Amino acid sequence: MKWLKEIMPYVVILIVVLLFRSFVATPIKVNGQSMYDTLTGNEIMILNKLGSIHRYDIVVADLIVNGKKEDTLIKRVYGLPGETISCENGRIYINGRNIEDDFAYGVTEDFEPVTLQSDEYFVLGDNRGISLDSHIFGPIKKKNIQGVTSFVLWPLNKFGNVK
């Protein structure tokens, strides 16, 4: 029984780390170029699983197609629950008002108005020319958003917050 007392602190630490990663925050790796030039791919970021979601936040979400997870996406939030979002002549409109789009790299493809339900978000990649995002597959349900991210751990030359 002495050995059990000796390993108990390590077991507790392991449980705390697993709970922290499962419910609070975890590292994620950025893949692809859809968030260029904010993110260029291969960055390691911290995903905050408890954060609230605001316009222009970067989120990690599961793309669900026909009830199955097809991919994990990293995108920027533009449309919030209850809003109507559209794009005309490359300009994004929320509830009929043109909004700032300082993150776009390339031209935003026009799309018809989409009215979001109370549990839906409209997400776009910063690199508009190549991004698979809500203008193609539609809104993302809140339950499919894993969390919010804004802090780069790696590479060290990008260490810190990104917008």
Structure tokens at 81: 């629950």
Question: Rounded to whole angstroms, how far apart are CA atoms 134 and 124?
Answer: 6
- The residue annotated as part of the active site, out of 52, 75, 142, 158, is 75
Annotation marks residue 75 as catalytic? yes
Among the four given CATH numbers 3.40.50.2300, 2.130.10.10, 2.10.109.10, 1.10.10.1100, the one describing domain 27-155: 2.10.109.10
Is it the case that residue 1 has pLDDT exceeding 80?
no
Annotation marks residue 34 as catalytic? yes
- The residue annotated as part of the active site, out of 34, 86, 131, 134, is 34
Q: What's the whole-model pTM score?
A: 0.86
Judge if the upstream peptide bond of residue 101 is cis by omega within 30 degrees of 0.
no
Residue carrying the six token digits 């002549």: 89
pLDDT in tens, 8-66: 777 778 887 787 777 778 888 898 889 998 898 889 999 998 989 999 999 999 988 87
Is it the case that residue 7 has pLDDT exceeding 90?
no
Question: Rounded to whole angstroms, how far apart are CA atoms 32 and 57?
Answer: 18
